[in-house]
Structure 1
Amino acid sequence: MAKDGDKSEWKEFVWNPRTREFLGRTASSWGLIFLFYLVFYIFLAGLFALTMYVMLQTLDDHKPTWQDRLSTPGLVIRPHADETFEIVYTIQETESWDMYAQTLDKFLSAYNNTVQAQKNHQCTPDQYFQQEDSGDVKNNPKRSCQFNRTMLEICSGLQDRYYGYQDGRPCIIIKLNRVIGLLPGKDGQAPFVTCGPKKDDADKIGELAYFPENGTFNLMYYPYYGKKAQVNYSQPLVAIKFLNITLNEDVNIECKIHANNIPTGSERDKFAGRVSFKLRINTVF
């Protein structure tokens, strides 16, 4: 009998026909609760939408309001295999280095002189190409300066389609990562790249040649205004050609950016402004 009583009480709690209550509440009570939460969540949604609307009015589609990137941009090399930053091949085995030449061909295709002439502007060298807005009038899209592939000379792939890999004198391309608004160098001193050996490899690296001359990133390619504002921007490049590097040995190399207003390395990132990679060129005797 106790079990029947418990069952009866449970059924009555779910639906009480005498008081017409469902789960202990009348229809009007449930209606008021539903109405309260409906109004409450509509209010929250409206408050959220208003907050987002106000915030979006402060944003510029072409320029970030805040940047948390390092003030010192990083360096990147081309070619490189995956994320290993190692270039290893055997001179006599074409298949071991052909992928590097193909990677450079693909990368440099956007720098063909004809492509640059169609998209970009011939700028005045050795001075910043600044394109400021006029108050609320946005100067967009902004123009970009030409960086022609021929500026890399014997590392352009035009004179030597194999970029020197076939004779053990390879070319490496270096670019400086983009940072919106960065003005590298001051008082007309353009930033430049140097490469040298790491650890005990000083006698292995041999002579280097830089293109453009002195490994310089000309000031006319700065500042960078962002992907949306400067859609045709072509990052300046520096090519390094290894003229007589030691064969059949690992050579650890580090390249750095030098500018009188850009420190290399920091507490946040000791690799800021530099890149390291290993180069090994084997030969079959």
Structure 2
Amino acid sequence: MSTKYDRISFPDSVKFASHSDNEFEPEMDAFSTGVYHDHTIYPRRRDRTVFKLACLRIRNRQTLFFLIAGFVVALLTLVIIIGITAMHTDSTKNKTSDRTTNNKDYGLFFYPEVDGSSVIKFDPTSLNSYKPYVDNLDYHMHVYSPVPQMHDANRYVVCTENTTQPLPEGKVCRFTAEDLGEECNHINMYGYKEGRPCVLLVLKLPDNMTPEPFDVNNSFVHKILNDRLSPYHVGISCAGETDKDQENIGTQQTVGPPMKYMPNKGFMTSFFPTQLNNSLYILPAVSVQFNTVANKHAVAVKCVAWAENFNNGEPQNSELYIARFVINIG
């Protein structure tokens, strides 16, 4: 069947072309033939379309590549951050932990211990910052007050290196705050006001245990204690947990040695075995004054009580005979 389009004729100047994207013109009816008067209409070039599609695919692939690469970089960055954080946490675990090494039945104890924390952090210029430590030391030092011992001199015996145990019934060794040095007392604020804090170390052993000092010829212990190694004492040593801590403890001699021990040689063995059943018995103590600790550094300190029968001759590897704490000044 023929239609009206079969009878349409076109001038020779018109070239036929495929429909274009903008072939619709307002002046033409809705059933346009796709022919524009006095214009030549060319079809889209296939090669250009293919090129555009190829570019689009390449761009899409580049975008996908960058998205994947960005995700991988972000993931690696997160892993690195977590790793560094974990390493930092491990390396500073002792410095930031509030857990105290005093949670034991016997062994080496340290004071001041405020709120169960092993961190001693204060500012020498601020009384409020170091007063809690002074108060805590006052509390633990009161048992070493010379007044009651002087009033009951018959029951408190002056013990020496040659004193043997057990003492006569009802008598105990005398030990006063004077044995802990002239500067580690309340009058001098235990050195905290000057930035030279004192730490009190107390040795408590089971009732039936008597410490056996290391032989003075023991080269390993002698290297640590030097001339403080004694056949009549449980030696005491304090040092930084790491090389950096040791550096921050200091080495200068401007105000005495970096660490001053009082009594110098440690805990006298004549105080043992412990007499916990005697209300008059006084646990021996050693005060350690840190004279040259660097300001604004958390310095981790490890103190060890040295006796041959402590942990089979290796007290440095047993938490019972170790006291750990952190000093942070400023």
Aligned partner (choices 91, 109, 112) of residue 145 of structure 2: 112
Aligned to 1:271: 319
1:153 aligns with 2:174: no
Q: CA deviation at 1:265?
A: 4.8
Distance 1:256 1:178, change over 3 A: same
Q: Deviations over 1:25-78 (max 9, x none)?
A: xxxxxxxxxxxxxxxxxxxxxxxxxxxxxxxxxxxxxxxxxxxxxxx9421111
Q: CA deviation at 1:131?
A: 2.8
1:208 aligns with 2:236: no
Aligned partner (choices 200, 209, 218) of residue 173 of structure 1: 200
Aligned to 2:25: none
Aligned partner (choices 96, 102, 105) of residue 129 of structure 2: 96
Q: Deviations over 1:148-193 (max 9, x none)?
A: 11111224416x4311101100100000123102111258432021
1:246 aligns with 2:289: no
Normalised by the size of structure 2, how large is the TM-score?
0.55
Q: Which amino acid in structure 2 is aligned with residue 203 of structure 1?
A: E
Q: CA deviation at 1:94?
A: 0.9
Aligned to 2:157: 122
- Once residues 123 and 276 of structure 2 are traced to their aligned partners in structure 1, the CA distance between those partners, rounded to angstroms, is 40
Which of the pair has more CA radius of gyration? 2
- Once residues 270 and 164 of structure 1 are traced to their aligned partners in structure 2, the CA distance between those partners, rounded to angstroms, is 30
Q: Superposition pairs for residues 1-285 of structure 1, below 5 Å?
A: 73-119=106-152, 120-127=155-162, 129-131=164-166, 142-157=170-185, 160-186=187-213, 188-199=231-242, 200-206=244-250, 207-214=258-265, 216-227=266-277, 230-263=278-311, 264-265=314-315, 270-282=318-330
Q: Is the 8 A contact 1:254 1:274 kept in 2?
A: yes
- Once residues 315 and 269 of structure 2 are traced to their aligned partners in structure 1, the CA distance between those partners, rounded to angstroms, is 22
**Aligned-residue RMSD, C-alpha:** 2.3
Distance 1:226 1:112, change over 3 A: closer
- Once residues 147 and 185 of structure 1 are traced to their aligned partners in structure 2, the CA distance between those partners, rounded to angstroms, is 21
Q: Which amino acid in structure 1 is aligned with residue 204 of structure 2?
A: N
Task: Describe the SS at the equivalent of 1:257.
Answer: strand
Task: Describe the SS at the equivalent of 1:277.
Answer: strand
Q: Deviations over 1:111-143 (max 9, x none)?
A: 1112222344223311454238xxxxxx85x32
- Once residues 279 and 156 of structure 1 are traced to their aligned partners in structure 2, the CA distance between those partners, rounded to angstroms, is 16
Q: Is the 8 A contact 1:101 1:161 kept in 2?
A: no
Higher helix share: 2
- Once residues 106 and 238 of structure 1 are traced to their aligned partners in structure 2, the CA distance between those partners, rounded to angstroms, is 16
- Once residues 318 and 119 of structure 2 are traced to their aligned partners in structure 1, the CA distance between those partners, rounded to angstroms, is 20
Distance 1:82 1:178, change over 3 A: farther
In percent, how many aligned pairs have the same letter? 22
- Once residues 261 and 189 of structure 1 are traced to their aligned partners in structure 2, the CA distance between those partners, rounded to angstroms, is 14
- Once residues 190 and 157 of structure 1 are traced to their aligned partners in structure 2, the CA distance between those partners, rounded to angstroms, is 23
Task: Describe the SS at the equivalent of 2:325.
Answer: strand
Q: Is the 8 A contact 2:237 2:304 kept in 1?
A: yes
Distance 1:130 1:277, change over 3 A: same
Task: Describe the SS at the equivalent of 2:180.
Answer: helix
- Once residues 173 and 208 of structure 2 are traced to their aligned partners in structure 1, the CA distance between those partners, rounded to angstroms, is 15
Q: Which amino acid in structure 1 is aligned with residue 232 of structure 2?
A: Q
Q: Is the 8 A contact 1:123 1:220 kept in 2?
A: no
| Structure 1 unaligned residues grouped into runs of 5+ | 1-71, 133-138
Distance 1:102 1:162, change over 3 A: same
Higher RCO structure, 1 or 2 (CA under 8 Å, sep 6+): 1
Q: Which amino acid in structure 2 is aligned with residue 100 of structure 1?
A: Y
Paired positions, count:
198
Q: Is the 8 A contact 1:127 1:219 kept in 2?
A: no
| Structure 2 unaligned residues grouped into runs of 5+ | 1-104, 216-230, 251-257
